[in-house]
Chain A
């Protein structure tokens, strides 16, 4: 009996299913639409769906399974397209999908590669077939397809397909009634400049808004927003432009390349008067009117609204804490708002139309509870190593003074020697790095030495791709201390030309122009190089002379300089606090004698004017760099010369808190709005989420 039992156990274990079925049903959602029907199965539009409490179905385009995952939003049950295969099976779309749309008749899936034709195609699933068959109508396409939308041409519904052919792009308008047999040569088309990315249509279906990236062969270079009049042939395009001083750029040693800021689809307000464009680099929403006029949402008026700092930085958009993924408009209590999802897994609400409560438009709606702006404790980098001030007890190293949070008044505090001077809403969350004789950002480049200036003995460093004025480089005339910035040359091989020898050569800038720097000796012992000393391109960097560079991770190196022709001048109407150079105070005695170590405020060994003048201030904060000190001759305290590249680093956190919440995942670019309810998919966790835009909370998530 025991043997029989053992054998039976063996048999059972051998037959048990060893496959681990996936718990995650939505694998790689790349798009989503929500359709709605009444009890009889008649499709309803969004407004009727809300008023009639229709039954909503989510169609999630899954690139992982190459199919449509169909989910009843009320019951949260998935439709299984093949009951004979274990697990929930998506409806195969027959190719590699990238985008999805739906109207009252069909669900449209855009495929980059159709499994049969091997080219791009549109897979159309009639909603009338739901529950009966899964036969798709296939419409072959051409070029590299990028996005699709639904519109109207001559009052007839069309599917708009956006694609790129080589360096140019196009929209094709495919009549819905003829899908499957549409001849692409015979349809209405519109040329779009550059490489196309995303597309959205206005609510009336008569206009399409397209984002693209212009190349050298286009009239507009960089990010482009175009408006297409579907009733005619007009395509109007505008450059989205950069983000002022906050522009994201990619650098190599041949120059800089602008990084595209474009992210998700444009969103058009219900009346077509406002277009919101989600951007990254930095995260933002750009605002246009319906005719593509850019609105500077930060411009300050006489009433004091606006964001002065962002305006001064040339930043026109609604600044977000993370790149925007998607944005939709939603009406809450008859007032228009927008919900934007971001890459950091959160969403925020934006005030679009003024209300009694919020008079300012196109701003992040503030949360009920606001925070306090603060700076983190200081990290110090010395000799290549970082130390946190929490653990650092080194009076020989420079600092901002005592490492403590000091209460200055009822409303103001000083954080580790840093005192804020701006409002929380005008502060950016960013990291500031203060570097002794630091390299000016963007000046580590390749140039050539020129010796053929008519003025004998003049040596110039030339970089035709540079704009030294815009980078903030100073010469002896423009410097407040009368000493030009330092150029460090790094030839490929160590140099040995008489007194000019070594791996690195340092000179001062006698004159700065847009693309050339006139050099002069920094040290008597190192004269200027002569022709033939070293040839060819040379790597160089420009450092702040006898001071500290102050650089924000978003604000950058603030300064007022611009180029006017070849010359460098101060820009007009620049905030005089646009300043990125800090200087240490120096004691009266040449030997650096101070009264005590650590150095205290108002140490009498410092001239009071020198001490006061060393207070650094920019539009956000102020601080004073206090030199390090040690016991010197006769055991009396004296200052310690600061080593080059010593750094002080801190983070600034704005006290402004926007109204929003965490989604806990990375949302895809599709959001569906039904009244004040918004649906979307979380690509990170494979979830459908539901947001209550009125209460600004996540209502539910489901697999």
Chain B
């Protein structure tokens, strides 16, 4: 009797253990279930915000950093109403980098270009005005639900550098993996006044330090022209026009304490010459391993403002005689600064706004007096930043929200977060 009871208990335990084991193993083996499509009404680890040239829209890029969805999104927000227009959203790959907008000759933003780190891709999309306002389009066929891009709109960039050099040099030529930085340059001069507008597009690879130069043909498709190797860590790119065909690229590096300077010449025969100049270095005060991040030009174009993390500060540079940025001053800040944007509260005066990731803040710096004039608490983990409609729109990466901060000095809500979009 005792033995049967014992065996009964043992058997029960065995059955339970086997059952649990079966359950565990079956769930582990069940890998055919796809991650759900992202919800365009939500922000999933948003990192980038870009303002439309009209100032009427901002576009928020969600990175899907935790891989919980099948991809990230770009979602339009109407500035005047602060309304998220899900109907205009599009699914893109995960871990998006920066996004840039192409404006036509009338100053209207017509296309968007986004770097996708996970797939090593450059995606180009159309911006279409609709009844709901605006929508991203990148597919020949009509999508049901959240739009998604055709393969024809996705350009794989990894091996572009290698493909453009002779075979005997390919082994020494790096890949262009992990594209992150992106910028669109001013239109190039055509062969005559009636020529269609052609813009350059610049793409920087975070992992391999490759700089890729494209021109955008008449339908906006990027055509690769030339590449150059800088150093791993490329974060942001700004173009400064020297002559219509000569451009200087200012490229921030987040892994090394340098700002790269690259001279680009777009020849009338379509060829592109690239000369990598000596980078700009700062007298280094500390070595945190995290250096230059987002950049912007002053409103009059004579100064460069850059988020710098070694030490945490706003780096102010001005352009010298030869067009090279020259270090001017560091305005001390605190934490991990990310992106910067300028805003003129009144004519002749500008403030520089800087996002700070660790203490969830937006700094306001007066670059003339080099004073930190305000620190505005916002959502968790702010990073990307754009200014539209006298408001700062900040992507809060950790929290999955967008903070809207009033910048109008005449407003009673000046320098306060007036909305947090979820």
Interface residues of A (CB under 8 A from B): 27-30, 63-64, 66, 96, 98, 112-113, 118, 146, 167, 195, 197, 213, 215, 248-252, 256-257, 259-260, 263, 280-281, 322-323, 343-345, 384-386, 439, 441-442, 444, 490, 492-494, 503, 539, 649, 664-666, 668, 683-686
**A118, B412: Cβ atoms closer than 8 Å:** yes
Show 29 A/B contacts (Cβ-Cβ < 8 Å), sorted by A.
Answer: A28-B333, A28-B372, A64-B335, A64-B359, A64-B375, A96-B372, A96-B374, A98-B371, A113-B415, A249-B320, A250-B318, A251-B323, A252-B302, A256-B321, A257-B302, A281-B328, A343-B285, A344-B283, A344-B285, A385-B275, A439-B322, A441-B322, A492-B244, A493-B191, A494-B268, A503-B245, A649-B278, A665-B285, A683-B332
Distance in angstroms from A132 CB to nearest chain B CB is 29
A256 to B322, CA, bound (A): 12
- CB closest chain-B residue, reference A26: B334
- CB closest chain-A residue, reference B285: A345
**A27, B318: Cβ atoms closer than 8 Å:** no
| B242 within 8 Å of A (CB atoms) | yes
**A666, B329: Cβ atoms closer than 8 Å:** no
**B245, A251: Cβ atoms closer than 8 Å:** no
**B311, A64: Cβ atoms closer than 8 Å:** no
Q: Which residues of B contact A118 (CB under 8 A)?
A: 412, 414
- CB closest chain-A residue, reference B413: A118
A83 to B281, CA, bound (A): 45
Q: Which residues of A contact B140 (CB under 8 A)?
A: none
Interface residues of B (CB under 8 A from A): 189-193, 242-246, 267-268, 273-275, 278, 283, 285-286, 300-303, 311-313, 318-323, 326, 328-330, 332-335, 348, 359, 368-375, 412, 414-415
Q: Which residues of A contact B333 (CB under 8 A)?
A: 28
**A503, B268: Cβ atoms closer than 8 Å:** yes
A167 to B190, CA, bound (A): 43
**B328, A685: Cβ atoms closer than 8 Å:** no
- CB closest chain-A residue, reference B334: A28
**A384, B275: Cβ atoms closer than 8 Å:** yes
Majority secondary structure of chain A interface residues (helix, strand, loop or mixed): loop
A79 to B323, CA, bound (A): 50
A146 to B372, CA, bound (A): 10
Q: Which residues of A contact B370 (CB under 8 A)?
A: 263
**B321, A27: Cβ atoms closer than 8 Å:** no
A171 to B246, CA, bound (A): 48
Distance in angstroms from A216 CB to nearest chain B CB is 10
Q: A256-B321, A259-B328, A260-B368 are in contact. List 9 more A-B contacts (CB 8 A).
A: A96-B374, A251-B321, A257-B300, A280-B328, A323-B328, A343-B285, A494-B191, A494-B268, A684-B332
Distance in angstroms from A611 CB to nearest chain B CB is 32
**B283, A251: Cβ atoms closer than 8 Å:** no
A164 to B122, CA, bound (A): 48
A384 to B302, CA, bound (A): 26
Contact among A96, A146, A250 with B375 in the assembled complex (CB-CB below 8 Å): A96
A649 to B322, CA, bound (A): 15
A98 to B331, CA, bound (A): 12
**B321, A249: Cβ atoms closer than 8 Å:** yes
**A250, B312: Cβ atoms closer than 8 Å:** no
The answer to whether A539 and B243 touch (CB under 8 A), given A344-B283, A666-B332, is yes
**A112, B373: Cβ atoms closer than 8 Å:** yes
**A444, B323: Cβ atoms closer than 8 Å:** yes
**B374, A113: Cβ atoms closer than 8 Å:** yes
Contact among A146, A249, A686 with B369 in the assembled complex (CB-CB below 8 Å): A146
**A685, B278: Cβ atoms closer than 8 Å:** no
Distance in angstroms from B329 CB to nearest chain A CB is 6
Distance in angstroms from B348 CB to nearest chain A CB is 7
**A259, B318: Cβ atoms closer than 8 Å:** yes
**A442, B369: Cβ atoms closer than 8 Å:** no
A494 to B195, CA, bound (A): 13
A494 to B285, CA, bound (A): 48
A27 to B359, CA, bound (A): 10
**A252, B301: Cβ atoms closer than 8 Å:** yes
**A248, B334: Cβ atoms closer than 8 Å:** no
